């Protein structure tokens, strides 16, 4: 059942699917009984009630967060759910960060699924511990369990007025047999005390005083610092190394060659040369003094400008059919056909904290302190390289200074482990900003064709969509040269347009670098494509874009994509639980329309743009108000967004994630471009791969739609509608249609 992520193995398709939760229930927490056994653990100072909850005799409530914190607020969100069902006093909660441990189920913190997949299980864990405390009290008071309840860290018998604190009952409760899950009584949502409340993040004070520990901040006794220069072209390796000057740099201890990755990249370290030193500065200075000749690579000729032109050509010829709604339309009369091609360049994640891991390898095994989204894959990867069992690799998860998908690829964890093994001392491998931008797992370069045949009413009678981009599959299997099914599920085939004939196709694209998933993944290019094209249709039909969306989405229904030639993965969710619900599209469209009417209205050279997108089982609409002045200078003035993510645990964190998603989307749409010449990334740092700054940031108004639907994703769904909303606004304000990102190709920002 477990995907084997060892370095030497190629990934099976199923393993890759599992990474994305695309195998239906396969990734659902608790899908296998064993991984969720809530066994009472050894009694220590604290009474442990289950895998997630322990109570101290001092009445402290220790709640385990098994997912990685990277800014989404999960170290607050998961404990909120546990504490709610438990009946805990929030002031007595202490959050414990879970180590890599299979008993938690998947800990891979991406795909916007911590709450989406964990909400019900966390409630069960909370209810189970609550029931044990209640049972212990009921036994003591000789009253029926049904008469006992909890609130604010107290167990209460209302009839007699008896009450005891959690701390007083902890030991007795830990001796109570584990209640069966089907006997648990969950709270009514009306009685929630923490779920739905905007608690401050638990790490607030540590962050604001500089005490918070990120991966970069780990220091161990006798620890060495490593800086690694990696092959500049995928597929090349060290040919000649002259390290004589580097070894003379003060503080440099050693220079170590690392073997190059072979075959499909997977999570293999890239290889190269590591400089080991007593401090970061010496490692960096030593690295500068290295003299390396690299071998030739098959990718030396990769030029992204040429490659994109080829992709644009390819999407103009038939490809593989991945969806056919209704009969194929083969009649495209020129005067009735509207066609557009949209492109997005390679993009890099650029979390503020670049990848970093500290490893200590001893005879007993390996211990990691990793800024990782996926401690279990880190353990598997490292175990594979060191020839250890996974259980011999202990993974401590630090706070992450941003992740965005980069830190769910544990190549850098293996680098640290290999170096520690070799020098027999703890090693911290710190990627520099240049390393992060030049040696990452990039979001794929892409081209999309959208084409429609219009009827007399200017509405599309038939549509054709084609997408082409190097697949993430190429990172795990050589020869994966077409977009994978689960990749086109991300905003390409799953847009529920009520068009009589709708055909979706994919075209071939080979990878020339490591391709990875980045915040909202293929929804970035597909959201841009459909979001732009619907606006172009609206312009043609002389309708507001919001109205065109409503008409294209058609009547209220839950779209099941029956008989359309594909099985929709739906982010690993059942369509019955997380339906593609047209009314929920309408909900966010309506909310954003309302928001646009409030406040500043467009003046000369100003206009709104709009787009809506469903991803990760959440619905997000975004409108942006922009100005394009006579010198073609763009200013983004306002952003209005609405997100329907079903039940939300912490509304303020849903808001902040959506604010952040708008910033992320604006950065990539306005300025984001990684380009290749002779196989090498041309950009290196924030001067040529810029991020949005405060001066470019609009006012933002986010509405979180109230809903009792099951929780959807939150971290990613805000990103896809931003780019098309921006370029649609630019068109409305200036008449300039931008189909090729970033915007800086045509405007200054």
Partner 1 sequence: MPDNELKLTINGKQFQLDADPNMPILWAVRDMLGLTGTKYGCGAGLCGACTIHIDGKPARACLTSLKQVQGKQVTTIEGLKADELINAWSEHKVPQCGYCQSGQLMSAAALLSQNRQPNESDIDAAMSGNICRCGTYTRIKAAILSVSAQEERS
**Lookup: tokens for 409:** 């690829």
Site string for partner 1, 414-453 (x = CB under 8 A): ----------------x-xx--------------------
CA-based nearest residue to 191, from 137, 144, 127: 127
* Nearer residue to partner 1 within complex by CB, 224 or 526: 224
251 lines the binding site for partner 1 (CB under 8 A)? yes
Residue 8 region by backbone torsions, left for phi larger than 0, else alpha for psi between -120 and 50, else beta: alpha
CA-based nearest residue to 337, from 227, 237, 451: 451
Distance from C-alpha of 542 to C-alpha of 551, rounded to nearest angstrom: 13
616 lines the binding site for partner 1 (CB under 8 A)? no
Terminal-residue alpha carbon distance, the chain: 49
- Phi/psi of residue 597, nearest 5 degrees: -75, -25
* Nearer residue to partner 1 within complex by CB, 266 or 401: 401
Spell out the SS3 assignment of 111-129: CCCHHHHHHHHHHHHHHHH
Under 8 Å between Cβ of 206 and 94: no
- Nearest approach, Cβ of residue 282 and partner 1 (Å): 8
Scanning 167-175, 381-389, 578-586, 652-660 for contacts with partner 1 by CB under 8 A, the matching segment is 652-660
Under 8 Å between Cβ of 491 and 526: yes
Burial class of residue 201, CB neighbours in 10 A (0-12, 13-18, 19+): buried
Q: Which residues contact 334 (CB under 8 A, 6 or more apart)?
A: none
* Nearer residue to partner 1 within complex by CB, 70 or 592: 70
User: Which residue from 691, 709, 736, 749 is in contact with partner 1, where contact means CB under 8 A?
Assistant: 691
DSSP-derived pairing of the beta strands 446-454 and 460-468: antiparallel
In the numeric block, the tokens 């992520």 are attached to 5
User: Which residue from 17, 115, 537, 692 is in contact with partner 1, where contact means CB under 8 A?
Assistant: 692
* Nearer residue to partner 1 within complex by CB, 284 or 423: 284
Q: Which residues pair with 638 in a beta bridge?
A: 625, 699
User: Which residue from 40, 54, 382, 400 is in contact with partner 1, where contact means CB under 8 A?
Assistant: 400
User: Which residue from 142, 188, 209, 330 is in contact with partner 1, where contact means CB under 8 A?
Assistant: 209
* Nearer residue to partner 1 within complex by CB, 203 or 300: 203
User: Which residue from 284, 292, 498, 749 is in contact with partner 1, where contact means CB under 8 A?
Assistant: 284
Spell out the SS3 assignment of 581-598: EHHHHHHHHHHHHHHHHC
- Nearest approach, Cβ of residue 560 and partner 1 (Å): 36
- Cα-based torsion angle of the residue sequence 39, 42, 43, 47 in order, rounded to the nearest 10 degrees: -30
DSSP 748: B
Scanning 56-64, 474-482, 531-539, 681-689 for contacts with partner 1 by CB under 8 A, the matching segment is 681-689
User: Which residue from 200, 245, 262, 677 is in contact with partner 1, where contact means CB under 8 A?
Assistant: 200
Distance from C-alpha of 185 to C-alpha of 164, rounded to nearest angstrom: 21
Q: What is the largest CA-CA distance in the chain?
A: 84
73 lines the binding site for partner 1 (CB under 8 A)? yes
97 lines the binding site for partner 1 (CB under 8 A)? no
Scanning 56-64, 520-528, 546-554, 649-657 for contacts with partner 1 by CB under 8 A, the matching segment is 649-657
559 lines the binding site for partner 1 (CB under 8 A)? no
CA-based nearest residue to 78, from 92, 60, 99, 64: 64
* Nearer residue to partner 1 within complex by CB, 69 or 535: 69
Distance from C-alpha of 407 to C-alpha of 372, rounded to nearest angstrom: 5
DSSP 710: P
* Nearer residue to partner 1 within complex by CB, 402 or 569: 402
Site string for partner 1, 318-357 (x = CB under 8 A): --------------------------------xxxxx---
Scanning 158-166, 202-210, 228-236, 461-469 for contacts with partner 1 by CB under 8 A, the matching segment is 202-210
225 lines the binding site for partner 1 (CB under 8 A)? yes
User: Which residue from 1, 42, 208, 562 is in contact with partner 1, where contact means CB under 8 A?
Assistant: 208
For residue 59, the number of C-alpha atoms closer than 13 Å in the C-beta half-sphere is: 14
- Nearest approach, Cβ of residue 9 and partner 1 (Å): 32
214 lines the binding site for partner 1 (CB under 8 A)? yes
Return the residues of window 694-723 that contact partner 1 according to CB under 8 A.
694-695, 697, 699-700
Is residue 742 reached through a cis peptide bond, with omega within 30 degrees of 0 on the bond before it?
yes
Under 8 Å between Cβ of 297 and 230: no
686 lines the binding site for partner 1 (CB under 8 A)? yes
Distance from C-alpha of 179 to C-alpha of 747, rounded to nearest angstrom: 63
- Nearest approach, Cβ of residue 391 and partner 1 (Å): 30
* Nearer residue to partner 1 within complex by CB, 356 or 515: 356
369 lines the binding site for partner 1 (CB under 8 A)? no
Scanning 47-55, 208-216, 317-325, 528-536 for contacts with partner 1 by CB under 8 A, the matching segment is 208-216
DSSP-derived pairing of the beta strands 365-370 and 61-65: unpaired
**Lookup: tokens for 431:** 């990627």
Scanning 31-39, 253-261, 401-409, 603-611 for contacts with partner 1 by CB under 8 A, the matching segment is 401-409
652 lines the binding site for partner 1 (CB under 8 A)? yes
The beta-strand segments (E) located in 438-508 are 446-454, 460-468, 501-506
Total site size for partner 1, rule CB under 8 A: 65
CA-based nearest residue to 100, from 463, 368, 439: 368
- Nearest approach, Cβ of residue 101 and partner 1 (Å): 23
Scanning 314-322, 383-391, 449-457, 692-700 for contacts with partner 1 by CB under 8 A, the matching segment is 692-700
- Nearest approach, Cβ of residue 205 and partner 1 (Å): 7
User: Which residue from 235, 401, 529, 609 is in contact with partner 1, where contact means CB under 8 A?
Assistant: 401
Under 8 Å between Cβ of 723 and 673: no
Under 8 Å between Cβ of 230 and 272: yes
600 lines the binding site for partner 1 (CB under 8 A)? no
663 lines the binding site for partner 1 (CB under 8 A)? yes
- Nearest approach, Cβ of residue 359 and partner 1 (Å): 17
Report the alpha-carbon angle 480-482-488, nearest 5: 120
In the numeric block, the tokens 């220590």 are attached to 44
- Nearest approach, Cβ of residue 608 and partner 1 (Å): 19
Q: Please report, as ranges, the residues that interact with partner 1 according to CB under 8 A.
A: 69-73, 198, 200-201, 203-205, 207-214, 216-217, 219, 225, 250-251, 279-282, 284, 350-354, 399-404, 430, 432-433, 652, 656-657, 659-664, 667, 685-687, 691-695, 697, 699-700
């Amino acid at each position: 059942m477990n995907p084997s992520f060892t370095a030497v193995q190629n990934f099976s398709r199923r393993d890759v699917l599992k990474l994305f939760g695309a195998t239906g229930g396969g990734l659902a927490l608790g899908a296998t009984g064993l991984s969720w056994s809530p066994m009472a653990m050894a009694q220590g100072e604290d009474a442990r009630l289950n895998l997630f909850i322990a109570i101290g005799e001092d009445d402290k409530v220790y709640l385990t967060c098994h997912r990685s914190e990277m800014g989404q607020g999960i170290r607050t969100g998961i404990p909120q759910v546990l504490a709610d069902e438990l009946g805990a006093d929030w002031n007595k909660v202490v959050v414990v960060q879970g180590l890599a441990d299979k008993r938690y189920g998947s800990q891979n913190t991406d795909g916007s699924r911590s709450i989406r997949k964990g909400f019900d299980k966390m409630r069960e864990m909370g209810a189970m511990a609550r029931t044990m405390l209640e049972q212990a009290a009921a036994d003591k008071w000789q009253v029926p369990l049904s008469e006992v309840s909890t609130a604010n860290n107290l167990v209460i018998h209302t009839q007699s007025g008896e009450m005891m604190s959690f701390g007083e009952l902890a030991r007795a409760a830990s001796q109570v047999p584990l209640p069966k899950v089907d006997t648990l009584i969950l709270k009514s949502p009306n009685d929630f005390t923490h779920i739905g409340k905007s608690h401050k993040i638990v790490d607030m004070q540590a962050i604001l005083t500089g005490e918070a520990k990120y991966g970069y901040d780990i220091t161990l006794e006798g620890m060495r610092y490593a800086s690694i220069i990696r092959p500049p072209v995928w597929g090349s390796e060290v040919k000649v190394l002259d390290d004589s000057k580097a070894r003379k740099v003060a503080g440099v201890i050693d220079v170590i060659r690392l073997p190059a990755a072979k075959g499909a990249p997977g999570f293999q370290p890239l290889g190269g040369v590591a400089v080991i030193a007593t401090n970061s500065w010496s490692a960096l200075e030593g690295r500068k003094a290295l003299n390396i000749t690299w071998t030739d690579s098959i990718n030396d000729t990769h030029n992204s400008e040429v490659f994109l032109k080829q992709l644009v050509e390819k999407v103009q010829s038939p490809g593989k059919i991945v969806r056919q709604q209704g009969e194929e339309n083969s009649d495209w009369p020129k005067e009735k056909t509207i066609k557009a091609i949209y492109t997005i360049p390679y993009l890099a994640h650029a979390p503020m904290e670049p990848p970093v891991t500290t490893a200590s390898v001893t005879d007993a095994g390996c211990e990691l302190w990793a800024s990782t989204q996926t401690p279990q894959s880190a353990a598997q990867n490292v175990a594979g390289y060191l020839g250890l069992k996974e259980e011999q690799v202990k993974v401590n998860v630090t706070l992450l200074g941003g992740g965005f998908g980069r830190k769910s690829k544990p190549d850098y964890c293996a680098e640290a482990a290999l170096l520690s093994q070799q020098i027999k001392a703890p090693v911290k491998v710190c990627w520099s900003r240049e390393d992060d931008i030049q040696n990452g797992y990039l979001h794929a370069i892409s081209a999309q064709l959208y084409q429609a045949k219009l009827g007399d009413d200017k509405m599309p009678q038939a549509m054709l969509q084609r997408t082409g981009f190097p697949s993430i599959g190429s990172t795990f299997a050589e020869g994966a040269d077409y977009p994978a099914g689960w990749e086109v599920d991300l905003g390409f085939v799953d847009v529920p347009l009520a068009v009589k004939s709708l055909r979706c196709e994919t075209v071939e694209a080979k990878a020339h670098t490591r391709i990875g998933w980045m915040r909202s993944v293929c929804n970035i290019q597909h959201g841009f494509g459909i979001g732009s094209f619907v606006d172009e249709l609206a312009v043609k039909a002389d309708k507001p874009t919001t109205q065109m969306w409503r008409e294209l989405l058609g009547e209220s229904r839950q779209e099941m994509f029956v008989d359309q030639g594909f099985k929709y993965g739906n982010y690993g969710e059942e369509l019955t639980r997380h339906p593609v619900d047209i009314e929920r599209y309408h909900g966010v469209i309506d909310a954003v329309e309302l928001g646009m009417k409030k406040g500043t209205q467009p003046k000369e050279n100003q206009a709104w743009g709009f787009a809506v997108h469903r991803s990760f089982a959440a619905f997000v609409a975004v409108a942006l108000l922009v100005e394009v002045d006579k010198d073609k200078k763009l200013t983004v003035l306002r952003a209005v967004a609405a997100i329907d993510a079903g039940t939300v645990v912490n509304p303020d964190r849903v808001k902040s994630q959506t604010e952040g998603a708008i910033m992320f989307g604006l950065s990539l749409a306005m300025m984001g471009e990684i380009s290749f010449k002779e196989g090498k990334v041309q950009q290196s740092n924030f001067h040529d791969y810029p991020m949005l700054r405060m001066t470019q940031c609009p006012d933002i108004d986010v509405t979180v739609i109230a809903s009792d639907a099951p929780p959807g994703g939150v971290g990613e769904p805000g990103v896809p509608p931003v780019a098309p909303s921006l370029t649609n606004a630019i068109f409305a304000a200036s008449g300039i249609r931008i189909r090729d990102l970033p915007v800086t190709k045509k405007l200054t920002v």
